[in-house]
Amino acid sequence: MKRHRPSRAHSGRAPRREHPARAHYSAHGSREKIYIYGKHALMEALAHAPHAVRKVFLSPEVNDPELRTLLRNASLTPGVLKSSEIDRVVGRETAHQGVIAVTDPGSLLLDLKQFIASLRPTEKTMLVLLDELTDPHNVGAIIRSAAAFGAAGVLIPVHNQAPITGTVVKTSAGMAFRIPLISIGNVNQAVDALKKIGFVTYGLVMNGAQNIMDEQFAAPALFIVGNEGEGIRQKTMERCDISLRIPMHARTESLNASVSAAVVLYQWSVRHGDTLGK
């Protein structure tokens, strides 16, 4: 974590101000479809979100019985592409394993109002909000950690945010298809809405007032993870009930955003261990 920024999240700078000139990203993506690749990612999609899979292409050497069964169950007939042709689509450096699929990322995203209406928050309810992260590897890793440590969902802004892409799905180890992903138009309004139904909001920052080891997490928890370079925006930080810090050795200045998130979410799960495995 860094000081008001969870990637270099421990550096003593003030919370960042609104940045109107930042590039515009969409949680829905600028395209109507994305490619996911690799056998594991596709099998997770078919098992947990088959509605999001539009087309599948396999190289001739792929002959996995479990994958074929999942395709049949989803009423999908795969096309055939040589590995060299898949290389041209997703890049030679991509570990696609001869498996590629066209998916609709928008179908994975839930509406915030509907999601809140379905919530019955207790002290065992935890959410993660991404405050304009731009590295898809961080987004995917945080989604994976959120799923691992019992989060009820991950909130993803529509603007200035790395969208759901094949890289996000791959880095999440397919967890993007297992945990609810909630699209939010305005971060601060989303925070306010969750505070109204009892969530305590935590900002992950390097110089946070509260050591994560001392926090009991005795109420519904919303963890906010800020941008890799600039951290949590000032107006969002002002909405945080508690700023959290991770104790670490003096020789280490900061942790990566996704690592910081994983550490904090793990500590939350220690307080609520009975939520794991469900």
pLDDT in tens, 153-171: 999 999 999 989 888 988 9
106: nearest Cα among 222, 192, 27, 166:
27
Give the distance, in angstroms, between the CA of residue 110 and the centroid of all CA atoms in the same chain.
13
CA atoms of 244 and 138, how far apart (whole Å): 19
CA atoms of 5 and 261, how far apart (whole Å): 11
Asked if 1 contacts 9 with a C-beta cutoff of 8 angstroms, the reply is yes
The residues near 11 (Cβ < 8 Å, ≥ 6 apart) are 2, 3, 5, 206, 253, 254
Q: Residue range 114-136: average pLDDT?
A: 96
All structural domains of the chain with their residue ranges: 34-103, 108-275
One of 3.30.70.1400, 3.20.20.70, 3.40.50.10470, 3.30.1330.30 is the CATH number of 34-103, namely 3.30.1330.30
Which is higher by pLDDT, 101 or 91? 101
From residue 76, how far is each of 32, 67, 70, 83 by CA, in Å? 19, 11, 9, 20
Q: Write the pLDDT tens digit of every residue in 32-78.
A: 578 888 899 899 999 999 999 999 999 888 889 999 999 999 999 99
CATH architecture of 108-275: 3-Layer(aba) Sandwich (3.40)
Domains 34-103 and 108-275 share a fold: no
Q: Residue range 254-259: average pLDDT?
A: 92
Which is higher by pLDDT, 223 or 94? 223
- Count of positions (residues) in the chain: 278
